[in-house]
Amino acid sequence: MKDFEVLVKKRLPSMINTCLVNQGNREYEASFKHLIDTLNRQRKVLLKELTKVARHEQKIKYFNTIYNMDSQLRSMDNKGVFQKHLKFRHHRMSAPVVYDIGEGPEKGDLLNADGEGLLLKTREKVTPDKEVRVSVSGKQARGKAVWSIKDAHGIVETGVKITEMSDDFMSEVRHQLKDEE
């Protein structure tokens, strides 16, 4: 029972993340499938044994672990959104942008745009839900920071969800990014 619980609580989340990031890689998908098959086999064996010899607390622990496992696997249904997010982050272009997070205008780079979202290269990390004002070639927009990640090279990427923009803001963004390709 303890080994099963450790697999579900420790190994399964990391395998889910690894599998999602390396989507399409057969090696990762095969190891993930093997882990799920192993967990399902252990689940069935434990269920048979627990009903015969386990105490009430052990049964509760088992069913909580099963619920945890099932909820983690259900969360993988959001993998399409996660993959779109990763694709959005990795498809980089560059166009100059001026952004303001409440401390005055700063120069940055517009790395990508998608619908109502922008990916900016900023000087420092921006806390989530912080209001960000963005200006591209004089066209203005406001939004909220959704995430901000600093990589090993010190480059900070900030995702901004646009909440208010001028009529021609997105067309200017597309135009700027198209010129840079």
Give residue 37's pLDDT: 85
Q: Model pTM greater than 0.75?
A: no
Q: Which domains does the chain have, with CATH numbers?
A: 2-86 (no CATH), 92-180 (2.40.10.220)
Please give the sequence-ordered ranges of beta strands (E in DSSP) within 29-173, or none if there are none: 95-100, 105-114, 117-122, 131-136, 139-150, 156-165
Residue ranges of the chain with per-residue pLDDT less than 70: 75-95, 179-181
What whole-number distance in Å separates Cα of residue 20 and Cα of residue 76? 8
CB atoms within 10 A of CB 178: 10
Give residue 155's pLDDT: 79
Give residue 181's pLDDT: 43
Q: Half-sphere exposure of residue 45, counting CA atoms within 13 Å on the CB side?
A: 9
Give residue 170's pLDDT: 85
What is the sign, positive or negative, of the torsion defined by CA atoms of 135, 141, 144, 146? negative
At position 170, the amino acid (one-letter code) is M
